[in-house]
Chain A
Amino acid sequence: MRHPPAQRADLIRIALMSAGAVLMCAAGLYAGVTPWQAAMTMVGAAAYHVLAGLDARAPHVPCDHIQTGEAAAGGFTLIAVTLFITGNPIAIAGAVLAVMFAYQVFLRYAIAPDAKEASIVGGAVQAVIAVIIARIAWNAAPDISVPAGRALTGLVPSLPAGPAAPAVAVPVILAAYALSRLLGPELKSHAEGPEFCCLPGREYSVMTWCLIAARCALVTIALLFSGWLCGIGFSAGRLYRGTLPGIFNLMALLAFSLAMLLVSKAAGTFIAAAGAYAASYALFFLYIKTRGLRYDRRETV
């Protein structure tokens, strides 16, 4: 279906949001955020934006990576590997990716929550991980504050500036974005479920696994590059009712993540992460409350 032309009001909103992103970036640089930190946070936000675009066609996951528990699982993996195994960034990235994949398989095939249950399961996972981390911190054996800070604001921004990390992440983000646009109709068909998907049986399974892999890669990049600072993408995108929602969502993500980065510089990492966490849930509940559709048809097959 062809989209209507952009309305003037929508263009103004997008321009304002873009200006907000630029303002947050400038304020952050003024407050001491390095260009490297700002750039890597934006890479994480871009990964999250592509992820939100993929999941916009999968309403069985109406919540973002914070609410599903992926952020908690990824953060815990980062902390545990750093404290007890190695501080090597590549090893940490590999471990986070592996855990994200295992978590997705666990979520989809072992728990298999429906749309409402996904956030409840995520909340339970967060609670369990919080208890474990509190226990580790209570013992105060290894110093947890540094890896915890990296888990919350991203590992890569804390590393020395270098091309390696973005050289891996940016092509993945661009490839995922390009494929999601080129295969848009196929993805939309896949989102209707196996009963309605027009792809034959085997192709449906292959696409399911490809989407799982893409999600794991993008969540890993988002966590490693911007931590918990950009978790508003899903709800923000779905609340926006204007034209060009993709551009608006991207600008909103950039503005928000850079704002949280500024807060982390001014008030501390944990305050910024708490703010991002609260914003994520606030928008999520706002979306649940104000969404126009309550899908009450039930399968009769």
Chain B
Amino acid sequence: MIDVKQCSLSISGITVLDDITITLNDGETIGIVGKSGSGKTSFLKTLAHRIPGYGGSISVNGAPLPLLKSALEKEVTYCGPAVPANPDESLGEFLLQGRLPYKKAFRPYTDYDRQTVDEYADILDLTRLRAMKIGAVPDGAFRRALLARAFVRGSHAVLLDNPTSDLDITSVVLLQKAIARYVIEGNRLAVVCSGDLNFVSAVADRVLVMDGGRIAESGTVDILDADLIKRYFGIDVIISRNIYNGKPQIHSFPE
């Protein structure tokens, strides 16, 4: 559980997060949506302790975030669009590094570590690419590898920042499966920040709509209706229902 109380953040005099109070529960998948600049990524990075100097408090399972220190890696994992520095590393080794916080110094990885990597590599269709070097992996597969590495960490909460970028439709479905497995298997928490409203609708149990650094709306995915989207995104859409899961399906149309 992540407990956020009156979290505020300013960068260069600009209010990025404004008095956010929310509790994110175990076993949930939280979707965060909002226009560009609404504070989604900043909120995610603040939860991951990537941006210090925020006001208010954030605690993970009762422990204040700044005090977690070396335990932070086991509690919260942030997966954003960054690029690793070493193109010559193999994909398999790159995935295995996700288990490093659990590895004892001077000891090899355990069978459980390798088994966890095998599972998520299989789910995200990376098994055949494990021997390939990171620099040679196609962009879509590379994106899946970043996500797999985050899941492999097995931390209490995983924070996914625009996870569907560079993913084709097949990969998006695989990602949905990976998120579901991650959350259900270990009663963990997944927070997905995305501009893809349909993806958020498909995976989230609860949706937070951010606007101007604040959480303007929150509720189940059913709050994603035409009025809300018009109000916060400024576009007209038509909402239908996914014939498989009954969740809102957003259709935009040019004027």
B109–A185 touching, CB < 8 Å: yes
**CA–CA, A59 and B87, complex, Å:** 8
Known A185-B97, A185-B103; contact A1-B69, beta-carbon cutoff 8 A: no
Known A185-B97, A186-B105; contact A299-B135, beta-carbon cutoff 8 A: no
**Looking at the complex, which of A18-26, A86-94, A196-204, A274-282 is the stretch in contact with chain B?**
A196-204
Name A's interface SS.
loop
A residues in contact with B130, CB < 8 Å = 1
**CA–CA, A174 and B109, complex, Å:** 23
B86–A191 touching, CB < 8 Å: yes
User: In the complex, which residues 232-285 of chain A have their Cβ closer than 8 Å to any Cβ of chain B?
Assistant: 238
A193–B85 touching, CB < 8 Å: yes
B133–A293 touching, CB < 8 Å: yes
A residues in contact with B89, CB < 8 Å = 188, 191-192
Q: Does B142 count as interface, using CB distance less than 8 angstroms? A: yes
Give the interface size class of chain A: 20 to 34
**CA–CA, A183 and B107, complex, Å:** 8
B73–A200 touching, CB < 8 Å: yes
* Shortest Cβ distance from B149 into A: residue: A196
Give the interface size class of chain B: 35 or more
A59–B88 touching, CB < 8 Å: yes
B residues in contact with A198, CB < 8 Å = 73, 97-98, 100-101, 153
B residues in contact with A135, CB < 8 Å = none
A199–B72 touching, CB < 8 Å: no
Known A183-B105, A200-B69, A200-B73; contact A192-B80, beta-carbon cutoff 8 A: no
**CA–CA, A270 and B170, complex, Å:** 62
* Shortest Cβ distance from A198 into B: residue: B100
B106–A301 touching, CB < 8 Å: no
**CA–CA, A295 and B69, complex, Å:** 32
User: In the complex, which residues 45-60 of chain A have their Cβ closer than 8 Å to any Cβ of chain B?
Assistant: 56-60
Give the 10 A-B residue pairs with the shortest CB-CB distance, closest first: A198-B100, A293-B135, A193-B85, A295-B87, A192-B84, A1-B92, A195-B82, A200-B70, A295-B135, A182-B106
Task: Name B residues whose Cβ lies closer than 8 Å to a Cβ of A.
Answer: 69-70, 72-73, 80-90, 92-94, 96-98, 100-101, 103, 105-106, 108-109, 130-131, 133, 135-136, 139, 142, 153
Given A196-B82, A200-B70, A294-B135, 15 more contacts at CB 8 Å?
A1-B96, A58-B86, A182-B105, A186-B100, A191-B85, A195-B84, A198-B73, A198-B98, A200-B69, A200-B73, A292-B133, A293-B133, A298-B83, A300-B81, A300-B83
